């Protein structure tokens, strides 16, 4: 009987220790294509004292399904490298490639559409965006 009373007293404290509340915040820094067939969003995700940045986009290899891919930048430095890669490719020529550990950006000049960029992730996901969208991303990352 004493053990039962003892367990009923400490059980709520032990159960509470199993669960922790984590305050998370997700802020969209720039939404390039919202609600379209091929959405792209750059977001800042804050968990307690840790902040990371994610680029979410729909994989353009599969047109039948809604596969969203998340390219994670663990810190602001990695996001700035992404910005510098876009800025360098803007000054470059068609076929130029900016290679990083987890992704690659390639510049392609098209007659009708102008300058486009192809983003290929290490996982195999691919998306593309135009120069105007790249400029919006560069401008959104700059003040961070």
pLDDT tens, residue by residue, 37-57: 788 999 999 988 889 999 999
| Count of CB atoms situated within 10 Å of the CB of 40 | 21
How far is Cα 5 from Cα 72, in angstroms, rounded to an integer?
49
Q: Are the CB atoms for 83 and 98 separated by under 8 Å?
A: no
Q: What is d(CA 109, CA 133) in angstroms, rounded to the nearest whole number?
A: 15
- Is 22-141 assigned to CATH 1.10.1740? no
pLDDT digits (tens, 9 = 90+) for 113-143: 899 999 999 888 899 999 999 999 999 999 9
Domain ranges of the chain: 22-141
In this prediction the pTM is 0.80
3-state secondary structure of 5: helix
């Amino acid at each position: 009987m004493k053990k039962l009373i003892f367990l009923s007293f400490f059980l709520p404290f032990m159960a509470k220790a199993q669960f922790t509340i984590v305050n998370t915040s997700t802020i969209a820094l720039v939404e390039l294509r919202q609600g379209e067939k091929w959405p792209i969003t750059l977001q800042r995700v804050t968990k307690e004292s840790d902040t990371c940045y994610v680029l979410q986009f729909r994989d353009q290899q599969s047109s039948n399904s809604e596969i969203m891919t998340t390219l994670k930048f663990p810190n602001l430095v990695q996001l700035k490298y992404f910005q510098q890669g876009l800025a360098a490719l803007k000054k470059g020529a068609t076929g130029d490639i900016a290679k990083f550990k987890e992704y690659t950006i390639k510049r392609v000049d098209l007659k009708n559409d102008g300058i486009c960029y192809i983003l290929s992730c290490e996982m195999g996901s691919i998306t593309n965006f135009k120069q105007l969208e790249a400029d919006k991303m560069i401008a959104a990352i700059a003040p961070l």
